């Protein structure tokens, strides 16, 4: 997410790095690059110009602090203005006390509206609410069935009937009262484009059913057009918030940067994956930090905690004991990679400070992950348990089986040896200490899947070790174990 804009801004700040002081000339030169990066991210032209003007006004005449690079001061100003551009945001939903709360969801076809209804229902259910999903989209033939399937997967009731959308919404509210449900989520009809018929239907539901909050589900892939769509819906319905979907894809960031400034309507939630639990509150501070390549530690901690909550206590204790003893095998290594994949490889990398810059442009972390998995899968049980057995002949066999080169297998085994020592060290740390450690390694250029090195290694010293020296090294490794 936001790889393009992050790289563009990083390049802009690099050009300002090392300047003795901030002047109007070098500020404007740097901000030209920032402006270009924002426009390439498909942010709205007017929003970009206003944003740059605000940054320039704050930066010109700024006193250069001693021991602080001027570019760092510009980054801080850009960060503050990005937060202001996208915020403030109150993610709370106003729930009614003595009746079911009605949440109306609207949007264009293809924005992920029906799936987002399911995601929101799951989020509210986990928060202790009792939601009812309402199939009020009678325009798209498959919409009702899609919502029914989602309801079955989540264990959440779905209301549907063959009438008109207004009556469906009215009757659903009465049905929720009967069942003792406290939150009604209306999945209203969408169109391929905004038209008078769509707006009139939504206005009628708004007027007669009186929803407590109205959310627009908007596809982030459409860039600055998302701001125009939000503006049109807001003028007709007075939106309470926007839910931005598909931020895990190739979204360039323009939608997130433009909507609040163009419409005055905040982004309240974001969809960051296809899974039904991949909906999270929108935090301008976290998003600004990720856009600037500084990661999102709060989000990272939440993701890791969520993943750990899905692992049984017995499994966690088994992992902990094995790590403390240093019994970390290649099979364990593969399982950890699979867990990272479940949490969303790209999303996790974007949350780790410095990690997004390490992945070469155009390189897919998933591809690098599969290459490593292929190497491990081409090994025997004995080799996985004891990688020291793998000599040049075995490396050639493993390379042939995984579609890689022998030197890649050798590099991976060297990296694994370092990771094993690192995992043993981390086994005795608290969760926060682990996060801090991984963050530091990310900034240092560690854990680059498929790249030059997953961990920084000592470079070629020009001295080739003799067989005797290599034998002594092997003895030292065995003693450490």
We report the CATH number of the domain holding residue 323 as 1.10.260.30
Question: Could you say which of 86, 110, 125 is where a domain stops?
Answer: 86
pLDDT band, very low/low/confident/very high, at 242 (cuts 50, 70, 90): very high
Under 8 Å CB-to-CB from 99, ≥6 apart: which residues?
177
**CA pair distance 268, 94, nearest whole angstrom:** 13
Angle between helices 406-426 and 392-402 (to 10 degrees): 100
Residue 134: name the closest of 101, 96, 168, 95 by CA. 168
pLDDT bracket for residue 206 (50, 70, 90): very high
CATH number for position 50? 1.20.120.140
Q: Which residues of 294-325 are buried (b: 16+ CB within 10 A; e: fewer)?
A: bbbbebbeebbeeeeeeeeeeeeeebeebbee
Same domain? 79 vs 134: no
Strands of the 101-106 sheet, one edge to the other = 158-159, 131-136, 183-188, 101-106, 213-219, 241-245, 267-271, 279-281
In three-state secondary structure terms, 104 is strand
Question: 363 and 214, same structural domain?
Answer: no
Q: Would you say 437 and 421 are in contact if contact means Cβ atoms under 8 Å apart?
A: no
Provide the CATH number for the domain around residue 214: 3.40.50.300
Question: Does residue 75 sit in the same domain as residue 131?
Answer: no
Which segment of 15-29, 216-230, 283-297, 428-442 scores lowest on mean pLDDT? 428-442
Q: Look up tokens 């076809």; give the residue.
A: 109
The answer, yes or no, to whether residue 297 has pLDDT greater than 80, is no
In a domain, 320, yes or no: yes
Within-domain flag for 56? yes
- Looking at the structure, tell me whether residues 135 and 212 fall in a common domain: yes
pLDDT band at 224 (very low <50, low <70, confident <90, very high): confident
Residue 273 lies inside a defined structural domain of this protein: yes
Q: Of 285, 314, 334, which residue constitutes the final position of a domain?
A: 285
- Looking at residue 153, its pLDDT comes to 95
259 found inside a domain? yes
Distance CA 154, CA 375 (A): 37
* 72 within some domain: yes
- 199 and 122 share a domain? yes
Residues 311-325 have pLDDT tens digits of: 555 655 665 566 556
Q: Are residues 249 and 308 in the same domain?
A: no
Per-residue pLDDT at 442: 44
**197 in the same domain as 60:** no
pLDDT digits (tens, 9 = 90+) for 104-148: 999 998 899 999 999 999 999 999 999 999 999 998 878 999 999
DSSP symbol at 2: -
pLDDT of 410 strictly over 80? yes
The pLDDT tens digits of the residues spanning 338-375 come to 666 665 656 655 555 444 544 445 556 667 777 888 89
Read off the pLDDT of each residue in 290-299 and give the average, rounded to a whole number: 61
Note the pLDDT tens digit of each residue in 176-198: 999 999 999 999 998 877 888 88
Q: What share of the chain is helix, strand, coil (3-state, %, to 5)?
A: 60, 10, 35
Compute the mean pLDDT over every residue in the chain, rounded to the nearest whole number. 78
Same domain, 367 and 391: yes
- Residue with tokens 């740390």, as numbered in its chain: 429
Residue 275 placed within a domain: yes
Domain boundary, last residue among 58, 86, 114? 86
Task: Clarify whether residues 278 and 129 are in a common domain.
Answer: yes
Q: In DSSP terms, which residues pair with 218 in a beta bridge?
A: 244
Structural domains counted in the chain: 3
pLDDT of 463 strictly over 90: no
Residues 311 and 393 in one domain: yes
Residue-range definition of the domain harbouring residue 75: 3-86
Would you say residue 296 lies in a domain?
Answer: no
Q: List 91's β-bridge partners, or say none.
A: none
Cα separations in angstroms, 277 against 219, 249, 344 = 18, 16, 12
Helix axes 254-263 and 225-237, enclosed angle (nearest 10)? 30
Q: How far apart are CA 164 and CA 173, in angstroms?
A: 15
- Is 92 within a domain? no
**203 shares its domain with 325:** no
Same domain (yes/no): 82, 118: no
């Amino acid at each position: 997410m936001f790889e393009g804009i992050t790289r563009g801004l990083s390049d802009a700040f690099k050009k300002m790095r090392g300047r003795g002081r901030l002047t109007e000339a070098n500020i404007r030169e740097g901000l030209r690059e920032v402006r270009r990066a924002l426009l390439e991210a498909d942010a709205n032209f007017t929003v970009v110009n206003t944003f740059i003007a605000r940054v320039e006004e704050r930066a010109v005449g700024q006193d250069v602090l001693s021991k602080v690079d001027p570019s760092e001061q510009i980054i801080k100003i850009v960060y503050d203005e990005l937060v202001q551009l996208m915020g403030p945001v109150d993610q709370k939903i106003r729930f009614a006390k003595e009746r079911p709360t009605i949440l109306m969801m609207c949007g264009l076809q293809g924005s992920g509206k029906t799936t987002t209804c399911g995601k929101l229902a799951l989020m509210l259910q986990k928060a202790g609410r009792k939601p009812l999903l309402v199939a009020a989209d009678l325009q798209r033939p498959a919409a009702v069935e899609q919502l029914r399937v989602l309801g079955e997967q989540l264990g959440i009731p779905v209301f549907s009937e063959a009438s008109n959308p207004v009556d469906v919404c009215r009757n659903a509210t009465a049905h929720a009262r009967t069942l003792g449900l406290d939150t009604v989520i209306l999945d209203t009809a969408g169109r391929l484009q905004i038209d008078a018929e769509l707006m009139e239907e939504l206005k009628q539901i708004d007027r007669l059913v009186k929803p407590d909050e109205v959310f627009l589900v908007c596809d982030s892939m459409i860039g600055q057009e998302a701001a125009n769509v939000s503006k049109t819906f807001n003028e007709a319905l007075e939106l309470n918030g926007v839910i931005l979907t598909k931020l895990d894809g190739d979204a360039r960031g323009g939608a997130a940067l433009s909507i609040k400034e163009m419409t005055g309507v905040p982004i309240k939630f974001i969809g960051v994956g296809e899974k039904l639990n991949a909906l999270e509150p929108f935090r301008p501070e976290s998003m600004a930090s990720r856009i600037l390549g500084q990661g999102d530690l709060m989000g990272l901690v939440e993701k890791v905690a969520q993943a750990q909550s899905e692992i049984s206590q017995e499994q966690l204790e088994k992992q902990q004991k094995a790590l403390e003893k240093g019994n970390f095998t290649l099979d364990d290594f593969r399982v950890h990679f699979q867990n990272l994949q479940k949490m969303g490889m790209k999303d996790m990398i974007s949350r780790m400070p410095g990690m997004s810059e390490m992945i070469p442009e155009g390189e897919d972390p998933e591809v690098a992950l599969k290459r490593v998995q292929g190497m491990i899968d081409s090994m025997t049980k004995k080799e996985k348990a004891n990688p020291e057995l793998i000599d040049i002949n075995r490396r050639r066999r493993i390379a042939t089986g995984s579609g890689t080169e022998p030197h890649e297998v050798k590099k991976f085994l060297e990296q694994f040896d370092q990771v094993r020592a690192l995992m043993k060290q981390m086994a005795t740390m608290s969760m926060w200490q682990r996060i801090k450690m991984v963050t530091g390694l990310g900034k240092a250029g560690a854990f680059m899947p498929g790249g030059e090195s997953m961990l920084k290694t000592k470079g070629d010293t020009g001295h080739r070790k003799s067989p005797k020296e290599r034998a002594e090294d092997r003895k030292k490794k065995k003693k450490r174990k």
